[in-house]
Amino acid sequence: MSKKVGSNKFWMTGLVPATFTPMHEDGSLNLDQVLPVVERLLAFKAMALFVCGTTGESASLSTPERKATLEAFIGAAAGRIPVVAHVGHSAIIESRDLAEHAQRSGAAAIAATPPTFFKPASVEALVDCMAAIALAAPQLPFYYYHIPHMTGVSLDMVEFLRRAADRIPTLSGIKYTAPTLYEFQACAALDGGRFNMVFGSDEMLLSGLAAGAQGAVGSTYNLCAPLYHEIMSLFAKGKHAEAQCLQLLSVNMVEAVKRYRPLPALKSMMKLAGVDCGPTRLPLIPMASAEIEGLRQALAAMGFLEWM
């Protein structure tokens, strides 16, 4: 579940799908498809929605489009599930605008990646950037979104938490999308578990749980949440061998997706699952029909489609 602790803390636990942004074939927004997406994820017992992140192609959307997308998800959620708004942008002023909008629109929390063209070169600079963004929405819990393979910003996250705790009153934790589990574990244990650490590598969920993950945010939870619910349940029961077998299925699925183009492939899989979110937007090249069929056959051969 997601919960609030004290006046500032917002905690994400369980599965939190990082939502796709539905688009028409010409790349324009197709916000009529948001409601079917939300209904699917509610049926999958998602605990919150993470909107306009990497999976949502936020870097390819204009600020007005990101606002419209967030409003559509909040409207479709209708108070039934918390919506976390990603507000990261290469321009801090745009991030602040998105943060203010998220607060006005009824988001439950915000998260932000760092600027990715002119990058913060030190933990101190990163804290300065995140503090400026968080202070634009002082009523909303704040998460730093650590995804160094996409942002090119790879700084010490333990030191970030230590420094940011005094500068960002609304800091709740980190959405951590990196394979450096030793650092993730150190963050999760810091100050007796003070911070909400959510893991963002779906194919490593079991390892994340063992390292102290309290929740998980990911793209494939849109597709096969029952698989990951079962992994989490088996882990909690101490049935680690069974959990490993199911996690291997996730690994194999992700490897199949990587043989194509990850985000275009995952978005195409949503159509296979019965909810058409359309193609990806340039510069991401959408999947061709033959590629989609090849991926479908690969997923069927490994017994993955039944989980979708």
Mean pLDDT for 221-238 is: 97
Three-class secondary structure of residue 279 per DSSP = coil
Does position 3 have pLDDT exceeding 50, yes or no?
no
12, HSE (Cβ side, Cα atoms, 13 Å)? 35
Q: Which CATH number fits domain 2-223: 3.30.56.10, 3.20.20.70, 2.40.50.100, 3.40.190.120?
A: 3.20.20.70
Which sequence spans correspond to the domains of the chain?
A: 2-223
pLDDT tens, residue by residue, 112-160: 999 999 999 999 999 999 999 999 999 999 999 999 999 999 999 999 9
- Report residue 10's pLDDT band, with 50, 70 and 90 as the boundaries: confident
Percent of residues, the chain, with pLDDT higher than 70: 97
Higher per-residue pLDDT: 232 or 10: 232
pTM recorded for the entire structure = 0.94
Q: Residue 240: what pLDDT? A: 96
pLDDT tens, residue by residue, 59-108: 999 999 999 999 999 999 999 999 999 999 999 999 999 999 999 999 99
Residues forming the active site:
145, 175
Do 89 and 95 contact (CB within 8 A), yes or no? yes
Do 15 and 228 contact (CB within 8 A), yes or no? yes
Q: Residue 6: what pLDDT? A: 35
Q: Residue 9: what pLDDT? A: 64
Does position 1 have pLDDT exceeding 80, yes or no?
no
